[in-house]
């Protein structure tokens, strides 16, 4: 079930940092760029102290987006909405370990909807909690900032966590991907990938740049 096609890192720009008044323009820019996925940050104001966007935005963009939607659910009890995110066009649905009453059941539900399933852990959550679920997921999303806002500083301890998950995956001979989210830009993407990341999310680094396309290109060119 490995869905990474080459040795280059997958780059998944987060549209959270886009200017929503010009969302179509930013989507077209990402379509033309070397970005691999679109990272979609959904926040409920309960799991995280912020509210982002939900189904109406996804339905409006799904027909113009030409790449997989990598949906990151920062919401409590995400199992309630898995089907609707599938219907809204998600290719990957990632839920938080901390937000699920029954994680295995939620992952199975995502798979039964025909979507790739990811599990995410917050910066303060140890990687050991992943051991049991690892064989069942397609992706592990390691948060390298406290979820809720774009534009925060990368937490350096995340590098160690990437290495730990990488080791768990190779020890068990598994095929799931490691994605890292928060505070990643041209200054640190190389060490994140060297630590073992297969995919990186970038919000502020892409959208606050004068040339977002060249930041994306440079992030892939390692």
Catalytic positions: 41, 181
Looking only at residues 29 through 88 of this chain, which bind Zn ion when binding is defined by CB under 5 A?
A: 41, 72
| Among Zn ion, ligand DX5, none, residue 145 binds (CB under 5-8 Å by kind) | ligand DX5
What single-letter DSSP state applies at residue 182? S
CB of 125 to Zn ion, least distance (A): 15
Rule CB under 6 A: choose which of 10, 16, 35, 71 binds ligand DX5.
16
**Per CB under 6 A, 204 contacts ligand DX5:** yes
Q: How would you classify the pairing of strands 116-121 and 90-96?
A: parallel
Residues between 61 and 120 that touch ligand DX5 (CB under 6 A): 72
Which residues touch 46 (CB under 8 Å, ≥6 apart)?
75, 76
Smaller CB distance to ligand DX5: residue 64 or 186? 186
Positive/negative CA dihedral, 58, 162, 143, 15: negative
Verify binding: residue 182, ligand DX5, rule CB under 6 A: yes
Sole binder of ligand DX5 in the list 119, 184, 192, 199 (CB under 6 A): 184
Contacts of 128 (CB under 8 A, 6+ apart): none
Q: Would you say 14 or 158 has its CB closer to ligand DX5?
A: 14
Which of 12, 7, 1 is CA-nearest to residue 199? 12
Number of alpha carbons in the 13 Å side-chain half-sphere of residue 179? 33
Cα(26)–Cα(33) distance, integer angstroms: 10
Q: Which residues bind Zn ion (CB under 5 A)?
A: 41, 72, 181
Q: Which residues bind ligand DX5 (CB under 6 A)?
A: 14, 16-17, 39, 41, 72, 145, 147-152, 181-184, 201-205
């Amino acid at each position: 079930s490995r869905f990474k096609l080459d040795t280059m890192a997958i780059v998944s720009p987060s549209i959270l940092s886009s200017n929503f008044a010009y969302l179509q323009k930013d989507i077209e820019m990402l379509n033309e760029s070397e970005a691999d996925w679109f990272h979609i940050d959904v926040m409920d104001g309960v799991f995280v102290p912020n509210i982002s966007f939900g189904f109406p935005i996804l339905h409006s963009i799904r027909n113009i987006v030409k790449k997989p939607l990598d949906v990151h659910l920062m919401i409590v009890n995400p199992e309630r909405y898995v089907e609707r995110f599938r219907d809204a066009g998600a290719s990957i649905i990632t839920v938080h370990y901390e937000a699920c009453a029954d994680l295995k059941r939620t992952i199975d539900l995502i798979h039964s909807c025909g979507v790739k399933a990811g599990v995410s852990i917050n910066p303060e959550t140890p990687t050991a909690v992943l051991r049991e679920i690892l064989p069942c997921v397609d992706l592990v999303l390691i948060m390298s900032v406290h979820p809720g806002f774009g534009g925060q500083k990368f937490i350096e301890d995340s590098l160690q966590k990437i290495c730990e998950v990488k080791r768990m995956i190779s020890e068990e001979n598994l095929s799931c991907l490691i994605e890292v989210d928060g505070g990643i830009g041209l200054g640190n993407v190389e060490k994140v990938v060297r630590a073992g990341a297969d995919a990186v999310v970038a919000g502020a680094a892409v959208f606050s740049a004068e040339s977002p396309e060249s930041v994306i290109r440079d992030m892939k060119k390692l």
